[in-house]
Amino acid sequence: MQRHFDQELKTLKEKLLKMAALTEGAIRLSIEALKNKDKELAKGVIKADSEIDKIELEIEEKSIELLATRQPVAIDLRFLTTGMKINSELERIADLAVNVCQRVFQIADQPLVKPLIDIPKLADLARQMVKETIDAFVNKDKALAKKVILSDSQADKLRNAVYYELVDDYIVKDGSCGPRAVPLILISRHLERICDHATYIAEDTIYMIDAKIVKHHPEKLKNNKENQQ
Amino acid sequence: MAENIRIEVKDVNFYYGKKSALQNVSMDIKKNKITAIIGPSGCGKSTLIRLFNRMNELIPNTRLEGRINLDGKNIYSSKIDVVEVRRRIGMVFQKPNPFPKSIFENVAYGLRVNGIKERKYIAAKVEKSLKNAAIWEEVKDRLSDNALGLSGGQQQRLCIARALAVEPEVLLMDEPCSALDPTSTRKIEELILDLKKKYTIVIVTHNMQQAARIADYTAFFMLGDLIEYDVTDKIFTRPSKKVTEDYITGRFG
């Protein structure tokens, strides 16, 4: 039986997809701005964030309304609650893309302390994880969600590599390069946090599909043969 | 039999004439818990709870196979007194059905039928039952008034008091709130939650949210089959059968 509620859920999902597309775009552009030290582009990303904030509120309000009026259960309940969490995660990711752009202003007008090697790798990983986690949510793809979760340790490694290289090889040896090195450390931190939020979305997606909470329980992910397929 | 089980349903089949109403139903009803029975009309849920106090026997041409045990004893055994079964397993119906008597006499009725004559004892029991049914404060000054003058919600609580007066162990409720407004419904639900400390409660309801709000366990029936029976939280967040999910989310039918 076709329900009116299905139409409302579909509309909500479309809004989430729009939010996801805008967030993905914000990351892509912030990375481009970073790689090219492009202040104009960075400014555009910062300005566009208000649109993402607006959609976030719309999704939140609509979700609360549907919870109150439809009192959903089972898959409907899991979709709505997961959607609300993913909505917040996407908004945080977009904010982090803004943070990256703000750092671009700090590094744009002076020579780089060193050539960027690990940061572009981390940026590409962040972008890929966000894209894949959104695809996993949209297509209810457990295997892809699991891949995203397992990619997170790679992000941690890259962030640590950036941090130790800049601290040990630059800041410790020559304190005067601090103002140019610290923004890069912060950028690696922002990018790594983007990967974390992509991971949370993947965990929520698995809950939505399977009703299994894998958050804080990585062993559940490993022992679950279904997820390994 | 496990300590915490009040009613055991074992391989029950039930027929109205040749028509099968329940097929191979087996389930345990846990002590001091609220068990909700849900399912579309004609799924056998009322038939099942009417079997628990042998009310289907009053309908001609019916047949029961299997066993229903109360505290490990078959309630359909020839050695068991049906009046005693109905004292131990009380029932509250969909429409409040007070007798056209005073409020006091409605509650005292079951005691008198059971041969109790001592006035003081009866008065104390009536008061206690009305208090347990959360209606004492509303009726204590007009116990001799006709019960039919009460509101629907009050009448239903009076019927619950009447059922409690004979000290049952199990309380069966067949859609007890379907004829009540939301305020009365809320009062009855609060009451049911209080009552489970002393009684085992089985409630048939068409109101899914009601099952979700008050039941510890929920059983989903369809066309006489027990499809899924689990803790309520699981049924309403992650049911294991697709057909249960379709029913509770309203995709079905």
Q: What is the pLDDT of residue B1?
A: 59
- For residue range A19-76, list pLDDT tens digits in order: 999 999 999 999 999 999 999 999 999 999 999 999 999 999 999 999 999 999 999 9
Q: What is the pLDDT of residue A226?
A: 46
Does A228 score more than 60 pLDDT? no
Given an 8 Å threshold on Cβ–Cβ distance, is A74 in contact with B209? no
* Sequence-distant (≥ 6) Cβ neighbours of residue A2 within 8 angstroms: none
Query: Is B164 exposed, middle or buried (CB count within 10 Å of its CB: 0-12, 13-18, 19+)?
Result: buried
Residue B120 lies in a domain: no
User: Which residue from A3, A5, A73 is facing B236, i.e. has the nearest CB?
Assistant: A73
- For residue range B104-156, list pLDDT tens digits in order: 999 999 999 888 999 999 999 999 999 999 899 999 999 999 999 999 999 99
Domain that holds residue B55: 5-99+169-248
Q: What is the pLDDT of residue A222?
A: 65
Does B252 score more than 90 pLDDT? no
Q: Which two tokens stand for residue A46?
A: 């910062």
Residue B184 lies in a domain: yes
Q: Average pLDDT, stretch A210-227? A: 70
Q: Which of A75, A80, A209 to mutate to test the interface with B (most CBs of B within 10 A)?
A: A75
Q: What is the pLDDT of residue B253?
A: 60
Residues of chain B with C-beta less than 8 angstroms from the C-beta of A71: 209
In this structure, what CATH number is given to the domain that contains residue B78?
A: 3.40.50.300
HSE-CB for B88 with a 13 A CA cutoff: 15
Query: Which B residues in the span 212-231 are in contact with A, Cβ-Cβ below 8 Å?
Result: 212
CA dist., res. B141 & res. B219, Å (int): 41
Whether residue B247 lies within 8 A of chain A, CB to CB, comes out as no
Give me the sign of the Cα torsion angle A229, A199, A155, A103. positive
* Residue B184 pLDDT grade (very low, low, confident, very high; cuts 50, 70, 90): confident
Residue B125 lies in a domain: no
Q: What is the pLDDT of residue A20?
A: 93
Residue B159 lies in a domain: no
Residues of chain B with C-beta less than 8 angstroms from the C-beta of A73: 208, 212, 236-237, 248-249
Residues above pLDDT 90, as percent of chain B: 86
Could you give the ipTM of this predicted complex? Answer: 0.74
Residue B222 lies in a domain: yes
Consecutive H or E run containing B213: helix B208-214
Given an 8 Å threshold on Cβ–Cβ distance, is B245 in contact with A75? yes
CA B177 vs CA B10, B96, B156, B188, B235: distances in Å: 29, 9, 8, 7, 22
Does A229 score more than 80 pLDDT? no
* Sequence-distant (≥ 6) Cβ neighbours of residue A219 within 8 angstroms: none
Q: Domains, chain A, ranges and CATH? A: 4-228 (1.20.58.220)
Q: Which of B232, B248, B252 to mutate to test the interface with A (most CBs of A within 10 A)?
A: B248
User: Which residue from A1, A71, A78 is facing B252, i.e. has the nearest CB?
Assistant: A1
Q: Which two tokens stand for residue A102?
A: 């703000």
How many structural domains does chain B have? 1
Residues of chain A with C-beta less than 8 angstroms from the C-beta of B238: 74, 78, 211
Does A80 score more than 60 pLDDT? yes
Q: Could you give the residue ranges of the DSSP H alpha helices within A140-229?
A: 142-164, 178-210, 218-223, 225-228
- For residue range B147-175, list pLDDT tens digits in order: 999 999 999 999 999 999 999 999 999 99
Residue B127 lies in a domain: no
User: Which residue from B248, B252, B253 is facing A73, i.e. has the nearest CB?
Assistant: B248
pTM of this prediction? Answer: 0.82
Given an 8 Å threshold on Cβ–Cβ distance, is B212 in contact with A75? no
Consecutive H or E run containing B70: strand B62-70
Residue B202 lies in a domain: yes
Residue B149 lies in a domain: no
User: Which residue from B237, B251, B253 is facing A77, i.e. has the nearest CB?
Assistant: B237
Phi, psi of B200 (to 5 degrees): -95, 130
Q: Which of A5, A66, A73, A76 to mutate to test the interface with B (most CBs of B within 10 A)?
A: A73
